[in-house]
Structure 1
Amino acid sequence: MSSRALRRRLQNEDIGGGSHDRCETSASDALSQPLLADGDHDYNKPKEGTSLGDILDEERRKEDPHWTIVFSNVIVQWAQWIANIVLGSGSLLARIIVPLISGSEDNNPLPPVLLSPLQEARLKYLKQRLSIPFDGTCSDHQDALGLLWRLAYPDRTLPALKSEVWKDMGWQGSDPSTDFRGGGFISLENLIFFAKTYPESFQNLLHKRDGVRSEWEYPFAVAGINISFMLVQMLDLQSGNPSKLAGQRFLQMLSHDDTAFDNLFCVAFRMLDAQWLAKHASYMEFNEVLKSTRTQLEREMALEDVSGVKDLPAYNLLRI
């Protein structure tokens, strides 16, 4: 199957399946689980006071290496060497092997890649963004939250910091700051970027304009926080050098686009909504849809001709 045909299949079938001024904080917020996490979900509710890095380190410790994993890692590295060195990235075997590596990479970390100075600098800056918790007492963070409201509802009055009106945007309570534990300040930046860069797509998702919707819809803003957190795990961004294929492909994207993470967030949000509609899902199925969104995004990032976010088949969803 050609790469172009595979891209069409992924897009048409599998979907059916700012300012960076920071406020000082004495301690980072806890990282919350996604909406309605079930017992089998990868994300477990942490103890209070746990940082983003602590959570992801704990997730990796759960994947204890075994001799079978070590052996299979050798096989994966050998296959990757054959595909990339001997036959070249454009070969038929390479097209077959890359998806196989993608499917098994969680238990078989790939060798680290050599980063260019530009990649190192952008990755370092992204990690700095990830380390910032949302602080509801910080004026800069309050202003950013107000900016998101004005972008979402340009004709409505900005509500007080604590108001039942915030639920209209998809916060779970009257105080949005209580929902930011999951993604930190970067999740708010992601939402603002989405609203500024793809305003029509943002508004369509916010107001649930597309398709036949469930009577019990996912809350927009909190869904965005969950997507930010999912991307951090999927891309292995808390490691020194990502060892997952998706993470290494993301570094390639980062070398071309310093806003690659924010753009990928927008794509992932549109993918989630497309999966939601295709599955006729309701609120209680949010985590299942989030999982399938991650799987689909990983598969698209494994395509050989994807070097930037705009090369992803699902990027076209932002134009709808």
Structure 2
Amino acid sequence: MFSHNKRLQYTVRVTETNPGLANLMLEQFGGPQGELAAACRYFTQALGEDDPGRKDMLMDIATEELSHLEVIGTIVAMLNKGAKGRLAEGVETEAELYRAISGAGNDSHVTQVLYGGGPPLVNSAGVPWTAAYIDTIGEPTADLRSNIAAEARAKIVYERLINLTDDPGVKEALGFLMTREIAHQKSFEKALYSIAPNFPPGKTPGDPRFTSVYFNMSQGEGDAVRGPWNSGNRWEVVSERDAQSAVDGGDGSATTQLDEAEAAVVAQMAGRTASVPAGDPMTGAELGMAEDDALTEVDRALQSEGGGADAPGAPRAPRT
């Protein structure tokens, strides 16, 4: 059950309207790193969570993300407020109104003309929000890692938005939202490491022959740079090209077992679709090229007579 408190989680003060900035703010309203995506991600995870502690945490954070959606949506609406009134009431000439919504940049017409200055569930490019932004897989150790990354991406977007405005009230509100991403990331990390063991994700262990092997597949400049990701006692580095294929000890080929009926049908299909390597068959592309790259017998005959449709300067008749 949800109940709504009409007070925002953080006070929003906008100094002046700015439709272009409002449109950029939509990235955190209806974009892939935005607050609605975060709220839906954690809410659906909470519903499927069996651990009471993680379930409560996910529900708390999902609900807070909805309050952040309200804050960022309010910023969008307030940044659009003045332009919304001018456009709705038509108090300026057509040219002035056009300059007001197009001169601000960032496709501010998306929110002005299409949505009347309100905060639509689209990103800053006008792409509608989609549930495809939610990548929950139902395994806590995998989902928590994904949540940590999602909070990190959201923080970066907020940093970029903060750098785009000199409005102190907007900066303060965005700074709060950015800071809460850090707090959520800490909670998710603590929850992840409270599961022991938490790596690798899931229950089935990896094949020990390959879990600590680093294949040096991209060779050339940069190979000399080594770090904990590919050096030390925990890694076996394989750089030899021949040793990078058929690592299971086989011959690296692909085979399948067919019964007699399947084998007969496959052989029949292979015979019917077999290539004929001998010869050089004429293709449709080559026939089409004749108009520009080769002369037909009619062309040659006309040229030998010194005139006709293909004489210099004469229009060329269409061929059928």
TM-score (norm 2): 0.21
TM-score (norm 1): 0.21
With CA pairs under 8 Å and 6+ residues apart, which has the higher RCO, 1 or 2? 1
Higher helix share: 1
